[in-house]
Structure 1
Amino acid sequence: MTPTPSDTAEPGTHLRLLWPEWQGAGADVVGELAPEFPLDVARRAYTVGTTVLAAVLPAHDGPVATVPVPLGDPGEEVQDGIESKAVLAQQLGDALKIIGEQDPARITTFGGTCTVSVAPFTSLAARYPDDLAVVWIDSHPDVDTGDTGYNGYHAMAVSMITGHGDPEMSALLPATVPADRVALVGLHDWVEDAYQHVGAWGITTFGPVDLRTSSRPLLDWLAATGCSRVAIHLDVDSVDADEGPLGLGKIPGGLAGTQVNRIAHDVNGAFDVVGTTIAEFFPRDVVHVQQVLNSFPLIGG
């Protein structure tokens, strides 16, 4: 498939990238965490989440592009420890081509699973060499590799961005971000075989308790990196599920929604935010409405 940008940007513009990627979430995990839906419906809920974000968030006055994402059988075979690797590699290449053609100075991405940050963040790292730090707001570290137990590519996003990902897919990337310029914010849920990479690679972490009352520890860390530009990734599962589950997993004990908003606002007030991603939105109520109405007279096929 070929990229389908909706407009051509001049250098220095702000691109909004819509990337309804769903194949990166391992099928078994989706089935376990969303048993109320048929598996094929649950897996594609990420595409619904992207559509909802684009509909309810403020309209963008710059170029908007959509990464083509197939809705058919993704081919779930595992290659090099990655489920659906071929289709995910194709999307990565398409996204990088779109970004390269647009040459944006800023990128806002709506997804889709966490992997949708890989292309924009590494593209921004190429544009701003030695001057980009990453704030990764997520309950999970996303530092799996093909050698760890989980084959879902969305858990490998930070690995890819920091240069520890699949060699074949990493060869597509224009740059990487050194691990010591990546902070995992809101981290409080992980699997041990992957979590060991956090310390081994030198990634900084802030649990929910570290930032509940103040963003100062994170701002101080950012200042110490020497970077003036920041890319912010938000996996909505970092918001405490007791407020209402936004992601696939219902994870309690995370940051409050107001705390997530304050952290992002404070970072933006002190640094130049050149990238923002909203990922992993799994809109259960909307998908349920779809299931109720998809065979209604004059609506369904």
Structure 2
Amino acid sequence: MAPTFVVVPQWQGSVSPRAMRLSDGAEAIRGDLPASATREVPVPVEAGDALDTGIDRFSTLVMVRERLASALRSAATPVLTIGGDCGVSLASVEHAARQHPADLALVWLDAHPDLHTAETSPSGAFNGMVLRAITGEGTDGLALTGDDRVPLQRVILGGARDIDPAEAELIRERKVASLSIDDLASPDALLAAVRATGASSFYLHIDLDVLDPAILAGLADLMPFGLSVEALNRTITALRGEFTLAGATIAGFAPASPEAAPDDLPSILRIIGALTR
């Protein structure tokens, strides 16, 4: 894979106390990417307004979505999107779905399912709604429509271990494929789940909080008992060996300070290496 890297230092989708550190994290990763293959989407400084949607900072999130979609239209594929918060995957999955119509599985590796809507979210953070929006269930302006949607039948959750009751009910009622950290110790279960969708290509969303915080300190949400980098990279290699990688997101890097970012970058760059070599 000779990817285009698109860096989106968006923080407005998160309500974590460390939300603004997500911008620092994206910038830190950008510094180690090849300049000739990397472009950056400008993110406004202002937080933005909810505009009575129930989604915090809605106006800015819509603006960034439009800017990212524009950047992706002229980007060579596949694209590796670097966030920022998980909301950056909305436009990136949309782009991949257009390249692989009706043939795209979405592998969502995240400590949280991100399956809320504005009506069920306890926080109003789009970070926790983006996967539901990708399936087409969400608020106009921040939800995919028509053939750009990836239905829940082609979504595989991996590593979620902080699941709100409304999300648990949805997973149960809609029979969403969901694999635990133990299930991901070997790639076999995930490969079987992707095969079951009938797709020949996949988009891989990685929120770095799927990793164990003992490995990566720069996380907005420290969720114990996560994956190792080695297990994650085995999974990436196995998926790429059987299916076409349509694109990927790495999100959720929130170092305590710009000076602390280099401590975590070797692990993140190993993951990028598994996606691109």
1:271 corresponds in structure 2 to: 243
Matched, 1:141 2:113: yes
Matched, 1:125 2:101: no
In structure 2, the partner of 1:59 is 34
Greater Rg, structure 1 or structure 2?
1
Partner of 2:43: 69
Report the secondary structure of 2:6's partner residue.
strand
Match of 1:219 in 2: 191
Match of 1:36 in 2: none
Q: Residue 276 and residue 288 in structure 1: after superposition, are their counterparts in 2 closer, same or farther (change >3 A)?
A: closer
**Which residue number corresponds to residue 200 of structure 1?**
173
Deviation at 1:244, TM superposition (A): 3.8
SS at match of 1:278: strand
Of 118, 122, 135 in structure 2, the residue corresponding to residue 162 of structure 1 is: 135
| Structure 2 partner of 1:38 | none
RMSD of the TM alignment (CA)? Answer: 2.2
Check 1:195–1:150 CA distance in 2 against 1; reply closer, same or farther (3 A cut): farther
Cα separation, 1, equivalents of 2:27 and 2:178: 31
1:49 aligns with 2:25: yes
- 1:165-220 CA deviation, whole Å, 9 max, x = no partner? 213432678711111111111111121123322233442100101121x1101111
Identity %: 27
> What code does the residue aligned with 2:151 have?
P
CA contact (8 A) 1:78 1:151 kept: no
SS at match of 1:18: strand
Aligned to 1:7: none
Quote the residue 2:10 is aligned against: 21
Give the alignment's TM-score, normalised by structure 2.
0.86
Aligned partners of 1:124 and 1:229: how far apart in 2? 10
* Residue pair 1:237, 1:245 contacting (<8 A) in 2 also: no
Q: CA contact under 8 A between 2:135 and 2:144: conserved in structure 1?
A: no
Distance 1:244-1:90 versus aligned 2 partners, 3 A rule: closer
Shift of 1:266: 1.2
Per-residue deviation, residues 64-92 of structure 1 (Å, max 9, x unmatched): 32211012x31354632100001101111
Determine helix, strand or coil for the equivalent of 1:169: coil
Alpha-carbon distance in structure 2 between the residues aligned to 1:48 and 1:78:
27
What number of residue pairs does the alignment pair up?
260
Query: Aligned partners of 1:265 and 1:226: how far apart in 2?
Result: 19
Aligned position for 1:233: 205
User: Aligned runs of 1:94-133 on 2, under 5 Å?
Assistant: 94-102=67-75, 104-133=76-105
Unmatched tracts of structure 2, length 5 or more: 262-277
1:92 aligns with 2:68: no
Aligned to 2:272: none
1:123·1:173 contact (CA, 8 Å) conserved in 2?
no
- From 237, 240, 246, the equivalent of 2:218 is 246
